[in-house]
Chain A
Amino acid sequence: NAGVTQTPKFQVLKTGQSMTLQCAQDMNHNSMYWYRQDPGMGLRLIYYSASEGTTDKGEVPNGYNVSRLNKREFSLRLESAAPPQTSVYFCASSEWASDPNEQFFGPGTRLTVL
């Protein structure tokens, strides 16, 4: 039971390059989330998927797209990376977004955009 896994762990991009961050969970959770973590700002929600087939914007969605590929997988895409997107990205999952269930987090992807 791996929980929430993320790939890659580290990535360096040049401005304008694109990439996709992958996330998978094996807990049969319905809801999945993408956050970014910046120093002194805590975690901010980028996008979430309350259930398979749905996605919604969070607090800071600009510059990102997401795909809920199936119940297990939720990917985050940067179409044209920019230096302000340098951050640590965390994927999380929970049983249902509508319930007060705790979220389970992956180990994170450290992204640097030059």
Chain B
Amino acid sequence: AQSVAQPEDQVNVAEGNPLTVKCTYSVSGNPYLFWYVQYPNRGLQFLLKYITGDNLVKGSYGFEAEFNKSQTSFHLKKPSALVSDSALYFCAVRVNDMRFGAGTRLTVKP
């Protein structure tokens, strides 16, 4: 069985500070890992994905994520948060079909 966990319901950071949104996964086999962002009353938008290769993946809007096989984690990071980054973030893992985490609400305060 495959599953993904986002241990934090809410993450608050100050604008300009680095941010991390955590994700851990459990799969048998090699996973494909994704991050999506959802703004209010909108569908999900793709940010980045890990398939294979370099463990550090760069994506849209200055976000990046680090794949850590030993810790089965795929944390989303950004060096300097913007107020406009405030949104709901979903981690997803795909082996057979796509499984999403419950989401983490990121709030960036001015």
Contact = CB atoms under 8 A, between A and B. Distances in A.
Given A43-B90, A100-B32, A100-B94, A105 B43 contact: yes
User: Which of under 10, 10 to 19, 20 to 34, or 35 or more describes the interface residues of B?
Assistant: 20 to 34
Contacts of A42: 90, 100-103
* Among B36, B49, B98: residue with most chain A CB under 10 A: B98
A108 B49 CA distance: 23
A102 B43 contact: no
A31 to B, nearest CB: 11
B46 A100 contact: no
B46 A103 contact: yes
A48 B94 CA distance: 14
A41 B102 contact: yes
A43 B44 contact: yes
15 contacts: A4-B43, A35-B100, A42-B90, A42-B103, A43-B100, A45-B97, A48-B97, A90-B44, A100-B94, A102-B46, A103-B44, A103-B98, A104-B46, A105-B43, A105-B44
